[in-house]
Amino acid sequence: MRKQFAVVGLGRFGGSVCKELYKMGHDVLAIDSNEDKVNEFTNFSTHTVIANATEESTLQSLGIRNFDYVIVAIGENIQSSILCTLLLKEMGVRNVWVKAQNDYHHKVLEKIGADRIVHPEKDMGIRIAQHLVSEKIIDYIELSDEYSIVELLATEKVANRSLIQLDIRAKYGCTILAFKRKEQVIVSPLPDDLIHLNDILIVIGHKNDLKRFEEEGL
Ligand code: ADP
């Protein structure tokens, strides 16, 4: 079933979220108080509205509580972001995802019931740094302070060997979730599946174990 999304704030972050959701075939209502911004999105959303998302009556007239997800991507103006989130939660929107500017903003959003708080610049900074320190790390997703998922490039050391031969889980405590091989994704690989040179291995585990595998196992 197609989900209904609304994106508030069409800056770089909100704009990318809006375009991507629309590209994936979802219904997206694009909201911004700036008319020029809104006009930019007429071809990249289902509906566009010029509106101030900190006005309760405006949000009500948009029927915002019927949306499955509302993404609050108001950038600089922390006060507006907080007020908008508060109104959306009070109005009963089930899933409100909000972009936070800093840790204080995050704390307030948590208190007023934001369902998910994202820090795109911070997260992307971490991912880029991980990639910079090791050519083998293609991508990195932090699951918690302790656990991550990483995409690692298969080197000569593991090429043409099977998972059972390498015994990665026993030796390093990490689990290979999938291989990416050109356009193909091999999900839940079997113990006998061979790794090819330059496959991308998607691995989950404790950060220390992942580091050990990346440094010693690859
Ligand atoms: P980014 O850092 O993701 O580029 P910006 O701060 O540039 O974010 O963009 C935030 C967007 O949110 C702007 O287009 C701005 O017009 C919009 N915005 C700010 N306040 C409101 C509001 N109260 N209602 C609706 N849109 C808003």
Structure confidence by residue, pLDDT tens digits, 148-180: 999 999 999 999 999 999 999 999 999 999 999
Global pTM? 0.78
Question: Which pLDDT score, from 0 to 100, does residue 75 have?
Answer: 81
As beta bridge partners, residue 118 has 99
Question: Which pLDDT score, from 0 to 100, does residue 27 have?
Answer: 96
Confirm or reject: Cβ of 39 under 6 Å from ligand 1: no
| C-alpha–C-alpha distance, residues 64 and 83, integer Å | 15
Instruction: State the distance from the centre of ligand 1 to the C-alpha of 24, rounded, in angstroms.
Output: 23
Question: Which pLDDT score, from 0 to 100, does residue 47 have?
Answer: 97
- Helix/strand/coil for 215: helix
For residue 26, what are its two tokens?
Answer: 């979802």
Give the pLDDT confidence of 88-98 residue by residue, as tens digits: 999 999 999 99
Confirm or reject: Cβ of 33 under 6 Å from ligand 1: yes
> Which alpha helices (DSSP H) does the chain contain, by range?
12-23, 35-40, 56-61, 78-90, 103-111, 120-133, 163-166, 168-172, 207-212
User: Which residue type sits at 96?
Assistant: V
Going by alpha carbons, the residue nearest to atom 19 of ligand 1 is 74
The ligand 1 atom nearest the CA atom of 52: 24
Backbone torsions φ then ψ of 55, nearest 5 degrees: -105, 120
Going by alpha carbons, the residue nearest to atom 9 of ligand 1 is 11
Confirm or reject: Cβ of 10 under 6 Å from ligand 1: yes
Instruction: State the distance from the centre of ligand 1 to the C-alpha of 57, rounded, in angstroms.
Output: 19
**Strand duo 4-8 + 69-72: pairing:** parallel
Let me know: does 100 contact 73? Beta carbons within 8 Å: no
- Helix/strand/coil for 158: coil
Question: Which pLDDT score, from 0 to 100, does residue 101 have?
Answer: 95
Low-confidence ranges of the chain (pLDDT < 70): 1
State the helix-helix crossing angle for 78-90 and 103-111, rounded to 10 degrees: 20
